[in-house]
Amino acid sequence: MSSTGVAITGIGAISPLGLSSAEMWSGLCEGRCGIDRIKSFDPTGFSCQLAGEVPEFKVRKYVPKRRRKSVKLMSRDIELSVVAARESILDSGLVTKGIDEENINVEPSRMSINLGAGLISCDLEEIAPAVAKSITNGKFDIHKWGKDGIENLTPLWLLKYLPNMLACHIGIIHDIQGPSNTITCAEAGGLLAIGESAQIIFRGDSDVALAGGAEAKVNAIIMARQCLLKRVTSKNNDNPAGACRPFDDEASGSVFGEGAGMIVLEDIERAKGRGANIYGQIAGVGQSQSINPAYEHLESDGKGIQIAIENAMADAEIEPGELDLIIPHGTGIPEDDLAESRGIEAALGEFAGKIPVFASKSMLSTTGAASGALDVIAGICAMRDGKIPAAKNFVKGAEGCNLNIVTKPKSEDIRYVLCCNYTYGGQTAAVVLKKS
């Protein structure tokens, strides 16, 4: 049986602005910045010493008692995803095995999970002692490593770092036995996963889904990569709150961070039937690809973004004039922001300069595979409250960027929100949200 619509019935977020979606949304509305000097390692040697780090939390509190042993196998990415998943399921009113074993109201085989996850880098302080046992004359000795070094790693070491383990842990905790997928399209992963998840419900292959993304980018290896690729701002180490400036004339690169965003999707008739709180619907999904020989950046005309938006709008069967809010990817990397803005303009024509735009990364940082999911949650909150937060760190628009970035908070009815995303490597995604 295929579905007639896909409702959003739950949201959950853990972000640099707090441990819940409510804290994230109030932070965005208040213009709080989640970016600061990196605390989890000494960043002195890095060109960018800033990150969006999640406030302290203990994952054990979010895992049912009988599953607490499993936290030893959770990398930071997995921990973040487990926290956000729990909030979103609680918020939806669905009862899974992980919420209350006695009162389950979801058929496990009809529930699916679809997450965007990153390339998880290993914990260097965990592997270093094993490397230290594998040195000859001050150099790494692979013979010693193979013979003795590896014995110092916990047997299940690899399982912390497989990207599908986020969905696997959550699936075990909440007993999700339907389709499980992990989209590994870097910074577009979360939004792509939400799109695919909605399509799985729409085609009738599950009734309920947990969808979103999670990534912990505050790891020395990942930060080194972003520095080497010159995707970071290196001018703002003394000014964390003003460092990430999407679409602003003074933008000089992004700041990276960590987080997880999860939403519960549900066949709309099922959601109505149980009297669920319905935030809205996934009205349209589109995706495409940027083709650029310099594939660390978006192509300069933003064509891949344009096609994704056009497809999502066609799927939602709406015209550009009906959009009330755009949440773009907007990383603060000047050439990417310009290309994205061109792609949005090409897709929406004259309306591109009129529809209010809100970019979240000045406060949330670029949280990899989580970023698209966090933006969808911001869009859902905006529809719920009829409120658009003001941009942070946007003073004067960058040359060539003609979007209508909202600089003062706005209160108005919001019926349709467009979220778009892209990543190095080129994948682009767009999702249209509709208020119920």
Partner 1 sequence: MIKKESKERVVITGMGIVCPLGHSVSELWESILSGKSGMGKTTIFDASTFPSQFGAEVKGYDFTKHTKRPELHKDSNRASGFVIGATEEACRGAGIDVESEKICDGIKRDRMGIYLGAGEGSVNNEVFFESLVQAWDDSERRMDWVKWAEVSLGKLDAMGELEQEPNMPACHIAMMTGARGPVRSCLTACAASTQAVGESMEIIRRGDADVMISGGAHSMIHPLGVTGFNRLTALSSRNDSPQTASRPFAASRDGFVLGEGAAIVILESLSSAKRRGAKILAELTGYGSSSDAFRVTDMHEEGRGAKQAIELALADASISYKDIDYINTHGTSTRENDSIETKAIKAAFKERAKKIPASSVKSMLGHLIGAAGAAELITCVLAIRDGIIPATMNLEDRDPQLDLDYVPNEPRKCKVDIAINESFGFGGQNNVVIIKRYEGK
Q: Which of residues 29-58 bind partner 1 (CB under 8 A)?
A: 41-47
Question: Could you give the string, one character per residue 241-280, with x where binding to partner 1 holds by CB under 8 A and - elsewhere?
Answer: ----------------------------------------
Burial zone of 286 (CB within 10 Å; 0-12 exposed, 13-18 middle, 19+ buried):
buried
95 binds partner 1 (CB under 8 A): no
3-state secondary structure 243-287: CCCCCECCCCCECEEEEEEEEEEEEHHHHHHCCCCCCEEEEEEEE
Q: Is 30 helix (H, G, I), strand (E, B) or coil?
A: helix
Q: Which residue lies nearer to partner 1 by CB, 227 or 352?
A: 227
d(CA 188, CA 170): 21
Among 101, 105, 109, 274, which residue sits at the site for partner 1 (rule: CB under 8 A)? 109
**Candidate residues 235, 295, 319, 412; the one interacting with partner 1 per rule CB under 8 A:** 295
Segment 208 to 247, residues that bind partner 1, using CB under 8 A: 220-221, 224-225, 227-230
Segment interacting with partner 1, rule: CB under 8 A, options 25-33, 232-240, 272-280, 312-320: 312-320
Residue 126: beta bridge partners?
A: none
275 vs 293 by CB, closer to partner 1: 293
Of 56-64, 99-107, 322-330, 418-426: span binding partner 1 (CB under 8 A): 418-426
Residue 278's φ and ψ, nearest 5 degrees, are: -105, 115
Q: Is 120 in a helix, a strand, or coil? A: coil
In this chain, which of 22, 90, 104, 159 binds partner 1, going by CB under 8 A? 159
Of 111, 91, 78, nearest to 211 by C-alpha is 111
Instruction: Pick the closer one to partner 1 by CB: 147 or 354.
Output: 147
Span of 86-94, 133-141, 244-252, 351-359 interacting with partner 1 by CB under 8 A: 133-141
Which residue from 283, 347, 382, 398 is in contact with partner 1, where contact means CB under 8 A? 283
Does residue 303 bind partner 1 (CB under 8 A)? yes
In the set 122, 278, 346, 390, which binds partner 1 (CB under 8 A)? Answer: 122
Of 1, 2, 102, 103, the residue at the interface with partner 1 (CB under 8 A) is 2
CA distance 84 to 87: 5
Q: For partner 1, which residue of 71, 73, 90, 241 counts as binding (CB under 8 A)? A: 73
Q: What is the DSSP letter of 386?
A: T
Shortest separation between residue 373's beta carbon and partner 1, angstroms:
16
Q: How far is CA 261 from CA 82, 106, 251, in A?
A: 10, 21, 26
Q: By CB under 8 A, name the one of 26, 164, 402, 436 that touches partner 1.
A: 164
Pick left, alpha or beta for residue 256 (phi over 0 → left; psi -120 to 50 → alpha; otherwise beta): beta
Task: Tell how strand 180-183 and strand 280-289 pair up.
Answer: unpaired
Stretch of 258-266, 327-335, 392-400, 423-431 contacting partner 1, by CB under 8 A: 423-431
Residues 334 to 393 in contact with partner 1, rule: CB under 8 A: none
- 317 near partner 1 (CB under 8 A): yes
Question: What's the CA gap between 183 and 196, in Å, rounded?
Answer: 9
Span of 52-60, 113-121, 235-243, 402-410 interacting with partner 1 by CB under 8 A: 113-121
DSSP state of 391: P
**Backbone phi and psi for residue 387, each to the nearest 5 degrees, phi listed first:** -145, 135
